[in-house]
């Protein structure tokens, strides 16, 4: 068998896993989903979900991964339970492709925006910036080429292996992202008229909160933490026996949440300062932030740098999506890492074509009332990830042998009480919470069906 590889240290694990978690979900999606779902109310519900369901499922995935040292399918198989459980692993692999199909499209936009911000976009006026974005994403060729370039970068990193490829890429780039996000927050908060955005983001208006807010917050939490499809199982499988799972896992959750909050602070005050609509949707980041850059001293420098870092954040996340697929084929079928990664990358690229075209020339074709890109996003975020997360919690809570579950404690008595609380979460609270939200979500999901 090939050497599977390991992280070089706890820091390496935390950076790589934070690299998976922190991505377009935090910087592109979070501000617009919060903006479209009422701001402050959404924020509080999101935080509550992260601390309960999110953290408990993340620890569950780490325990499965570290104890089995396998990809998601192999991990369930190794625990020799019923034939049912490995299906959760297979579903994770399908989910990886579903997410990749739209993720690399948007990641390709970030690459294109490095070029655009270097070549005159920032001297355009407000309306032109919006029009340029619209023209670009609806074009039939340009965004697909950028997605192809991006996918090639992802393949390159994954072929490099765990410590030399995946870990190295995150180690240097995540700290850089962090610094730049803080600089941007500062600029955004000091724009004239920013206070209204701050208020929108931090003061809950409960009358705007509906069940849809809770469903969106749950999906966003799973997406942002890379949960429910075995990414964290896979990353946990490269962890050594000494690493403190609780501390490492909690650090990842804290970093991911911090970056999402900072992204909200970076985008929403600027939206209000420029009189844009916080509910504008996916274009929010690509329209608002160029405004900020066009106004700020040094914008011509910070603009391209920001999109570069956004591309990096997207890269380390897309790498983790592809790594799940690669790990499966390498572990289970003994295939070569290089071959599998190139093939899976090619499939991911082909799937992104309908996603990109669905915003332009194919916008008339809809399934369940949604274009292909929106449908893939909806299926993954609101259905597949929460369903996978529920299954993983139940598996660890009820099926996995107690001794293995206690890998969480790892011989550290200070975690014994915590492990008991965590067990209550993975057995009851988290699966039940997800189930109730999904059940109540049926009317919302029904809205997307063709007969409505
Ligand atoms: N967490 C990543 C982001 O926020 C996306 C992702 C989801 C990556 C699921 C892996 C698995 O952008």
Structure tokens at 416: 């014994």
Averaged over 303-325, what is the pLDDT? Answer: 93
Rounded Cα distance between 427 and 422, Å, is: 8
Verify whether ligand 1 is closer than 6 Å to residue 317 (CB atom).
yes
Which residue would you say has higher pLDDT here, 259 or 81? 259
> Virtual CA dihedral for 372, 378, 384, 387, nearest 10 degrees?
-160
pLDDT band of 118, cuts 50, 70, 90: very high
Q: Where are the beta strands (DSSP E) in 38-127?
A: none
Q: What atom in ligand 1 is closest to the CA of residue 320?
A: 10
Averaged over 57-69, what is the pLDDT? Answer: 96
Q: Contact, 40 vs 273, CB < 8 A? A: no
Verify whether ligand 1 is closer than 6 Å to residue 25 (CB atom).
yes
Verify whether ligand 1 is closer than 6 Å to residue 259 (CB atom).
no
> Virtual CA dihedral for 248, 215, 441, 52, nearest 10 degrees?
40
Which residue would you say has higher pLDDT here, 200 or 309? 200
Handedness of CA 59, 61, 64, 70 (dihedral sign): negative
What pLDDT score does 448 carry? 57
Q: What atom in ligand 1 is closest to the CA of residue 318?
A: 8
Verify whether ligand 1 is closer than 6 Å to residue 154 (CB atom).
no
Residue 416 CA to ligand 1 centre (angstroms): 30
Structure tokens at 168: 């190295």
What pLDDT score does 444 carry? 64
Rounded Cα distance between 415 and 409, Å, is: 5
Q: What atom in ligand 1 is closest to the CA of residue 321?
A: 10
Q: Contact, 18 vs 224, CB < 8 A? A: no
Spell out the residues 6+ positions from residue 100 whose beta carbon is closer than 8 angstroms to its own: 318, 321, 322, 348, 351, 352
Asked if the model's pLDDT at residue 451 lies above 60, the reply is no
Residue 108 CA to ligand 1 centre (angstroms): 16
Asked if the model's pLDDT at residue 1 lies above 90, the reply is no
Spell out the residues 6+ positions from residue 343 whose beta carbon is closer than 8 angstroms to its own: none
Count the helix, strand and coil residues of the chain and give each as a percent rounded to the nearest 5: 80, 0, 20
What pLDDT score does 363 carry? 92
What pLDDT score does 445 carry? 63
Which residue would you say has higher pLDDT here, 451 or 27? 27
DSSP label at 119? T
Rounded Cα distance between 65 and 235, Å, is: 7
Mutating to test ligand 1, I would choose from 29, 224, 230, 382 the residue with most ligand atoms within 8 A of its C-beta, which is 224
Taking CA atoms, 58 is separated from 64, 139, 170, in Å, by 10, 39, 19
Structure tokens at 17: 């896993």
What percent of the chain is predicted at pLDDT more than 70?
97
Verify whether ligand 1 is closer than 6 Å to residue 231 (CB atom).
yes
Asked if the model's pLDDT at residue 63 lies above 80, the reply is yes
In the chain, the N- to C-terminal Cα span, in Å, equals: 52
Averaged over 350-375, what is the pLDDT? Answer: 93
Verify whether ligand 1 is closer than 6 Å to residue 226 (CB atom).
yes
pTM greater than the 0.85 cutoff: yes
Length reported for the chain = 452
Residue 210 CA to ligand 1 centre (angstroms): 25
Verify whether ligand 1 is closer than 6 Å to residue 257 (CB atom).
no
CA-closest residue to ligand 1 atom 11: 226
Averaged over 221-237, what is the pLDDT? Answer: 97
Verify whether ligand 1 is closer than 6 Å to residue 220 (CB atom).
no
Mutating to test ligand 1, I would choose from 17, 22, 25 the residue with most ligand atoms within 8 A of its C-beta, which is 25
Residue 374 CA to ligand 1 centre (angstroms): 16
pLDDT band of 443, cuts 50, 70, 90: low
Residue 21 CA to ligand 1 centre (angstroms): 5
Q: Can you list the alpha helix ranges (DSSP code H) found in 190-210?
A: 195-202
| 3-class DSSP state of 140 | coil
Q: Contact, 181 vs 10, CB < 8 A? A: no
Rounded Cα distance between 37 and 42, Å, is: 6
DSSP letters, 414-432, are GGHHHHHHHHHIIIIIHHH
Q: Contact, 89 vs 228, CB < 8 A? A: no
The tokens 């391209």 sit on which residue? Answer: 304
CA-closest residue to ligand 1 atom 4: 25
Half-sphere exposure of 318 (CA within 13 A, CB side): 33
Residue 317 CA to ligand 1 centre (angstroms): 5
The overall average pLDDT reported for the chain is 92
What pLDDT score does 279 carry? 86
Structure tokens at 256: 């991911």
Q: What atom in ligand 1 is closest to the CA of residue 26?
A: 4
CB atoms within 10 A of CB 225: 32
What pLDDT score does 340 carry? 97
Verify whether ligand 1 is closer than 6 Å to residue 24 (CB atom).
yes
pLDDT band of 449, cuts 50, 70, 90: low
Residue 174 CA to ligand 1 centre (angstroms): 15
Verify whether ligand 1 is closer than 6 Å to residue 20 (CB atom).
yes
Verify whether ligand 1 is closer than 6 Å to residue 319 (CB atom).
no
pLDDT per position as a tens digit, 375-396 = 999 999 999 999 999 999 999 9
Residue 18 CA to ligand 1 centre (angstroms): 10
What pLDDT score does 92 carry? 98
The tokens 């946990």 sit on which residue? Answer: 236
What pLDDT score does 147 carry? 98
Highest-pLDDT range among 11-15, 91-95, 366-370: 91-95
pLDDT band of 408, cuts 50, 70, 90: confident
The tokens 């919690």 sit on which residue? Answer: 393
What pLDDT score does 452 carry? 41
Verify whether ligand 1 is closer than 6 Å to residue 321 (CB atom).
yes
């Amino acid at each position: 068998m090939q050497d599977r590889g390991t992280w070089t240290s706890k820091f390496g694990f935390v950076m790589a896993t934070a690299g998976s978690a922190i991505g377009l979900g935090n910087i592109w999606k979070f501000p617009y989903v919060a903006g479209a779902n009422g701001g402050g109310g959404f924020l509080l519900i999101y935080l509550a979900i992260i601390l309960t369901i999110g953290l408990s499922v993340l620890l569950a995935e780490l325990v499965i991964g570290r104890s089995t040292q396998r990809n998601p399918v192999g991990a369930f198989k190794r625990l020799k339970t019923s034939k049912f459980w490995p299906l959760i692993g297979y579903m994770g692999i399908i989910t990886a492709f579903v997410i990749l199909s739209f993720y690399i499209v948007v990641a390709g936009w970030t690459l294109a925006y490095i070029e655009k911000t270097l070549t005159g976009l920032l001297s355009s006026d407000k309306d032109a910036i919006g029009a340029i974005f619209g023209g670009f994403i609806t074009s039939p060729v340009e965004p697909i080429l950028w997605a192809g370039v991006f996918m090639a970068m992802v393949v390159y990193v994954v072929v490099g292996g765990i410590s030399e490829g995946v870990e190295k890429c995150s180690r240097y780039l995540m700290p850089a992202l962090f610094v730049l996000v803080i600089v941007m927050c500062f600029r955004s908060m000091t724009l004239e008229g920013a206070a209204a955005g701050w208020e929108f983001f931090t003061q809950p208006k409960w009358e705007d909160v509906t069940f849809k807010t809770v469903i969106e917050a749950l999906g966003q939490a799973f997406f942002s933490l890379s949960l429910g499809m075995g990414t964290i199982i896979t990353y946990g499988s490269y962890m050594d026996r000494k690493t403190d799972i609780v501390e490492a896992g909690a650090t990842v959750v804290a970093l991911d949440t911090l970056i999402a909050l900072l992204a909200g602070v970076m985008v929403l005050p600027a939206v209000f300062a420029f009189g844009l609509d916080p509910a504008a949707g996916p274009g929010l980041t690509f329209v608002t932030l160029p405004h900020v850059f066009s106004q700020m001293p040094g914008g011509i420098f910070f603009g391209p740098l920001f999109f570069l870092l956004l591309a990096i954040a997207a890269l380390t996340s897309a790498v983790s999506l592809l790594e799940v697929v690669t790990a499966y084929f390498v572990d289970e079928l003994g295939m070569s890492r290089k071959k599998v990664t190139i093939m899976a990358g090619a499939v991911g690229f082909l799937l992104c074509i309908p996603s990109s075209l669905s915003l332009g020339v194919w916008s008339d074709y809809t399934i369940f009332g949604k274009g292909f890109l929106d449908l893939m996003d909806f299926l993954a975020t609101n259905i597949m990830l929460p369903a996978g997360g529920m299954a993983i919690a139940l598996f660890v809570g009820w099926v996995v042998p107690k001794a293995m579950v206690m890998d969480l404690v790892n011989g550290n008595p200070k975690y014994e009480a915590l492990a008991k609380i965590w067990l209550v979460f993975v057995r009851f609270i988290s699966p039940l919470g997800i189930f109730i939200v999904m059940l109540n979500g049926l009317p919302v999901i029904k809205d997307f069906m063709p007969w409505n």
